[in-house]
Structure 1
Amino acid sequence: MAGGAVPPAAYGRGLSAELRAARMVWQREMLHFLRDRIGTLVSLLQSLMSLFILGVGMGGLFAGSGMGSASDYLTFLFPGVLVLAAQPATVAVGASIVWDREDGFLREMLVAPVHRATLLIGRCLGGMTVATCQGLVILAGAGLLHIPYRPGIYGLLTAELALTSLTLTVLATTIAVFVRRPRTLTTVLGVLMAPLLFLSGTMFPISALPGWLSLLSRFDPLTYAVDAMRRTVGVDRLVHGRAMLTEPVTWGGLRPAPPVELAVVAAFTVGALVVAARRFSRLG
């Protein structure tokens, strides 16, 4: 059949077979995570350095300009660092698709008697789980930045981090299914991820951007994810002078509520997943 699709009659026993296949793909991603201890440690160290080295340095600049203390900037930076901690694991999922396609393992997976979208969703869920686990290590140190250890705050931050991790995973996967060479994927992801991360206000306030870049940031789904996490920890209430922590995400002077922001992120994720699933179903 066209695109190597499996006839409906050949599929397994309904939903249970699909769930079992998704779980197996998810477990494979988790095994890769557990075995790659050095890679996990390096990515966590990179995030910690961003928070406590770059953050302290940039915080000194903000304090010197009268826009708040260095500790205020570290608190402002913290949600962005959570996203940065999740990003390497999400990119790895996209890279694994390209490598599996090159060495022939992906073709063996595609002949399984389940929907191909199930295999893709399993990968994305695995990437989301790994990325969330890495972010939770950083989240555990939030008390060092004077963020109170309240179950409600941490539960909501965990959910927001999981959604953001899924968004990044789906985005990397969408790009991967259109690319054949690992080197090409690395280049494309590098070119795309950097603007998405910086335009979202992970490192500095969107209010510091020129008008046209500030406008572009409103079309970046990560902008809404980061802003929702900052509002969860109460960073948006720390206003100093010209305000490094003013309300950055507004449309016509109106600021969307956090549930609306998360709905925007979820809608983007679903749309990208549909595109990736359609392309993945045509791979041979």
Structure 2
Amino acid sequence: MIEVIYIRWLRQLKHYWRSKSRLIGSLGQPLLFMVAFGFGFGPMYTKASGGANYMDFLAPGIVSMSILFTAIFSGLEVIWDRQFGFLKETLVAPISRTEIMVGKTLGGATIAMIQGLIVLCLTYLLGFRVPGLESLALGLVFMLLIAIFFSGLGLAIASKMKDMQGFQLIMNFLIMPTFFLSGALFPLENLPPAIYFISRIDPLTYGVDGMRGALAGMSVFGVYSDFATLFTLSVLVCLIGAFLFSKVEA
């Protein structure tokens, strides 16, 4: 079982490493958001918050965004494999489909983690600082949970689709509201009740809030509450993904 999961995980990483354009291109949007929002809204945030640094608030949200986009689009590989016949060959092999799904999920999550770490390093160039190693370790836990949740979600959706363009449209429909309503760019306090309610049922909200609490000491719901919620959701979405993948037809 471990060998099968490792092979699927390794295949994901090799695809990522060989696609240098994918690695470099996925850094463009986080950098744009950091520069545009960091320097554009930074002075206003500082005045409104009584001198707080907006980059300390923004950086965990941008790292979460990078992980979100990279992780959820890992589901594209399922559709890609289906179109080129590799998925059919995999499914008829004498191995469990759950093992295949776990390997793909961990591979997508690892790639998303690498991408998130690269963006986290870039935030240092813009003035963001992690308080210490304990904060960094806790932040990495939240990064991993975000990566696992959205990798599992992407694979679960991809297992029920055969059209790559349709998958991209659905993902874009889900990703942008998920990101913008998570509190990654603005504080959740004092929001209109309807928007605040939607933010509370957004899984990324707990990832962003947990990372912000771990890396910058700013948390609305509490780090442990964020961890418990995101951990539960990650396990749940992986179980659903494993069930849907077990029903997939090549």
The TM-score, its normalising length taken from structure 1, stands at 0.82
1:24 aligns with 2:11: no
SS, match of residue 48 in structure 2: coil
Q: 1:201 to 1:89 in 2, by over 3 A?
A: same
Q: What corresponds to 2:95 in structure 1? A: 114
Partner of 1:185: 167
Residue 148 of structure 1, CA deviation: 4.0
2:43 equivalent among 53, 60, 63: 60
CA distance in 2, matches of 1:206, 1:76: 12
Contact kept, 8 Å, 1:166 with 1:269, in 2: the verdict is: yes
Residue 264 (str. 1) matches residue 245 (str. 2):
no
Spell out, residue by residue over 1:19-64, the C-alpha distance to the aligned partner (whole angstroms, 9 max, x if none): 111111101100011011111112123212211222211213324x
RMSD: 1.8
Match of 1:54, as an amino acid? F
Q: 2:147 aligns with which of 157, 165, 173?
A: 165
Give the equivalent residue in structure 2 for 1:78: 59
Distance verdict in 2 for CA 1:90–1:146, change over 3 Å: closer
Checking the alignment, whether the CA contact within 8 Å between 2:56 and 2:216 is kept in structure 1 is: no
Alpha-carbon separation, structure 1, partners of 2:110 and 2:237? 18
**Aligned partner of 2:33 among 39, 50, 71:** 50
Does structure 1 conserve the Cα–Cα contact (< 8 Å) formed by 2:69 and 2:175? no
Does the 8 Å CA contact 1:76/1:235 hold for their aligned counterparts?
no
Q: 1: distance between equivalents of 2:40 and 2:58?
A: 12
Checking the alignment, whether the CA contact within 8 Å between 1:128 and 1:162 is kept in structure 2 is yes
Q: Larger radius of gyration, structure 1 or 2?
A: 1
Instruction: Describe the shift of the 1:201–1:261 C-alpha distance in structure 2 as closer, same or farther (beyond 3 A).
Output: same
Q: Report the count of equivalent residues.
A: 248
Where do 5+ consecutive residues of structure 2 fail to align?
A: none
TM-superposed CA distance for 1:79, in Å, is: 0.6
Q: Cα gap change, 1:276/1:66 in structure 2, threshold over 3 Å: closer, same or farther?
A: closer
Identity within the alignment, % = 29
Please state how far the C-alpha of 1:119 moved relative to its aligned partner.
0.2
Match of 2:73 in 1: 92
Q: CA distance change for structure 1 residues 178 and 51 in 2, over 3 Å: closer, same or farther?
A: same
TM-score with structure 2 length normalisation?
0.92
Aligned match of 1:10: none
Does the CA contact (< 8 Å) of 1:85 and 1:134 recur in 2? yes
2:191 aligns with 209
Q: What residue in structure 2 maps to residue 197 of structure 1?
A: 179
Contact 2:8 2:100 survives alignment (8 Å) = yes
Separation in 1, partners of 2:2, 2:130: 38
Shift of 1:138: 2.0
Does the CA-based 8 Å contact 2:67-2:116 persist in structure 1? Answer: yes
